[in-house]
Structure 1
Amino acid sequence: MAEGSAISPSAEAEDASPALSVVIAVLNERENIAAVCQELATVRRDFPLSEIIFVDDGSTDGTIEAIVAARKIDGLGDIRILSHDRRCGKSSALRTGIRSARGRWIATMDGDGQDDPSAIVALYAEAGAAKGRPPLVVGVRPRRSDTIWRKLATRFANGLRKRLLNDGCPDTGAPMKLFLRSDFLALPQFEGLHRFLPALLQSYGVSLVCVPVRHRSRLHGQSKYSNLGRAVVGVRDLLGVIWLRNRTRLPVSVREC
């Protein structure tokens, strides 16, 4: 993985290519797209030079058509739309968007209206203020706007991950994250990767910065995952991540002879 030096994100905005790519993976979020895009249009003027990428993970409800229609929103600018031919999972959708992204920095958020896109500005500022190697910035949610059962399940999952992985992140599954594109693409890819970025990136020498963000109720529709289904898959993935971290071996420096 290429080593990067900390530079001011605002300085990158002077380059012709976008400094920041906002990647949003969606699945059957037709009713939420217009409101999410309207918010993005409102706050995008506060972003550095950026692009917005929607990745549709095999929706069947007209989500793509809703994104195409949202392109007409004033201030949103041109948005890119990538579409999977079938449902592959959120991590796969994020990887599709990040591989196609032109920005050095990647910001991720959900497309259900629960994330406040204005928080991206704060995450980006924290990245620019960091000393040394560029960090992973996670928008942690101190107050969750979910059902009591969802809150309990999330609290248990985060506690278990934090205890076993010792990643120092109280909300490792938070959708809002900001990181270097090259750092993400250097990781071994698997479905569920997005929930373990703090632990995996630490193995590659990437530090963690946590920023509190506002969490809101979903605008329309329901979560695509049940608490039980998430728990079963999460435990399996957790064991795999523990194995990956134990088997990661990286040199401190490399010298050409």
Structure 2
Amino acid sequence: MSNEQLTIIVPIYNESENIQRLKDALSQYFQKASVAVKALFVNDGSSDGSLEKLKSICKNSHCFDYISFTQNKGLSAAIKAGFDHVNSSLTGYIDADLQTDPEDFELLLEYIDDYDLVTGNRNHSRKDSFTKNMSSKIANGIRRAFTHDGMDDTGCPLKIIKTEYAKRIPMFKGLHRFLTAMIMLQNGKVKQVDIQNYPRLAGQSKFGLWNRLLGPLLDCFVYLWMKKKYINYQIQEKS
């Protein structure tokens, strides 16, 4: 993947019903993209046949690669594993449910030269239930109060990060909720861009009220501890 400018990480956990749609949507975007792009599927211990479908896709196309966990480890672990395995200069992230459109990566790419992370903002076009929308709004408010990152939709599953910054993000459960804040801890510049949001057409959401509200609140205290202990450095010279 070293020749690609953008590698899109796609965490997969029991998304068998979405995988063909996902492959088609990504393939369509690859043909239009303004940069060279590949996708890296991260199979998070799926038990519904997702892995077999991913193997078939990757076997028949050089635009797709995959890595697979031995067991389910969660979204944060899947994203971190993706960061660890990417070699392109830019790293993208999108969820497998296609509630965001891969073609909207083009909106983010317009700003990536001047920023170190560009993230989507779905709030103007959310197509989720009232309960999901409200819980997400509350969770975003809680995170914003703790991190002061200025983001309206920190959990948006459409992001582009300069890979050198992504690789310096430490591993911890809940990191997917703090990607913007973790770039800011590195003195990186961040920006949000309005994107479209679509209803989930297949498969089941992996998040409910418990892990949309209580989980993020607990993770905020972990973030505060990490912020206090975080070591940031810059190399001035080397031989």
Residue 255 of structure 1 deviates from its aligned partner by 6.1
Q: Which amino acid letter does the alignment assign opposite residue 3 of structure 2?
A: S
Please point out which of 71, 83, 91 is paired with 1:98.
83
Residue 41 of structure 1 deviates from its aligned partner by 1.0
Structure 1 distance, partners of 2:227, 2:36, is 35
Residue 190 of structure 1 deviates from its aligned partner by 0.5
Is contact 2:147–2:181 with CA below 8 Å preserved after alignment? yes
Partner of 1:137: 118
Partner of 1:36: 22
Q: Which amino acid letter does the alignment assign opposite residue 42 of structure 1?
A: Q
Structure 1 range deviating more: 37-46 or 109-118: 37-46
Please point out which of 87, 112, 115 is paired with 1:127.
112
TM-superposition CA deviations, 1:125-170 (whole Å, max 9, x none): 2113x1xxx4210011122111111111000000111122111111
**Stretches of structure 1 lacking an aligned partner (at least 5 in a row):** 1-14
Which residues of 2 match residues 222-241 of structure 1 at below 5 A? 222-241=204-223
TM-superposition CA deviations, 1:85-109 (whole Å, max 9, x none): 1000111111212211121100000
Is contact 1:33–1:70 with CA below 8 Å preserved after alignment? no
The question of 1:167 aligning with 2:152 is answered no
SS in 2 for 1:22: strand
Residue 251 of structure 1 deviates from its aligned partner by 5.2
Residue 77 of structure 1 deviates from its aligned partner by 4.3
Structure 1 distance, partners of 2:169, 2:127, is 31
SS in 1 for 2:220: helix
**Stretches of structure 2 lacking an aligned partner (at least 5 in a row):** none
Partner of 2:72: 87
Is contact 1:106–1:180 with CA below 8 Å preserved after alignment? yes
Partner of 1:179: 161
Structure 1 range deviating more: 151-160 or 140-149: 140-149
Partner of 1:189: 171
Partner of 2:38: 51
Residue 122 of structure 1 deviates from its aligned partner by 1.6
TM-score (norm 1): 0.85
Q: Which amino acid letter does the alignment assign opposite residue 32 of structure 1?
A: N
**Number of aligned residue pairs:** 237
Is contact 2:143–2:216 with CA below 8 Å preserved after alignment? no
Structure 2 distance, partners of 1:116, 1:233, is 27
Q: Which amino acid letter does the alignment assign opposite residue 135 of structure 1?
A: D
Q: Which amino acid letter does the alignment assign opposite residue 160 of structure 1?
A: I
Partner of 1:9: none
Is contact 2:143–2:217 with CA below 8 Å preserved after alignment? no
Decide whether aligned partners of structure 1 residues 182 and 88 sit closer, same or farther in structure 2, where only a CA change above 3 A counts: same
Is contact 2:10–2:40 with CA below 8 Å preserved after alignment? yes
Is contact 1:34–1:67 with CA below 8 Å preserved after alignment? no
Partner of 1:60: 47
Partner of 1:221: 203
Structure 1 range deviating more: 188-197 or 242-251: 242-251
The question of 1:110 aligning with 2:95 is answered yes
The question of 1:17 aligning with 2:25 is answered no
Q: Percent identity?
A: 27
Partner of 1:27: 13
RMSD (Å) for aligned C-alpha atoms: 2.2
Runs (4+) off by over 6 Å: none
SS in 2 for 1:151: helix
